[in-house]
Amino acid sequence: MSRPTPQCPIRPGEPCTLCQAYVTGPEDCQTVKLVMEDEDLRAELAVKRRQHRERMRQAQGGP
């Protein structure tokens, strides 16, 4: 049985594509680590996640 594809924590709604060198997933992705360690980038990510949730809700016919 195969594992489900993990989601990229910094690209809301997208799977991890192993786009960084020597990465095995989000767990050891240095890009994710850098974003999570930076207050401004974390805030920007929160905005992107909210926008993604909003798009998903609209796509599903929500208010």
| Distance in Å, CB of 63 to ligand SF4, minimum | 31
Candidate ranges 11-19, 36-44, 45-53, 55-63; the one touching ligand SF4 (CB under 6 A): 11-19
Q: Which of 23, 36, 49, 52 binds ligand SF4 (CB under 6 A)?
A: 23
- Tokens 């020597």 — which residue? 22
C-alpha 63/C-alpha 60 separation (Å) is 9
Q: Which of 26, 36, 49, 52 binds ligand SF4 (CB under 6 A)?
A: 26
**58: alpha, beta or left, given left = phi > 0 and alpha = psi -120 to 50?**
alpha
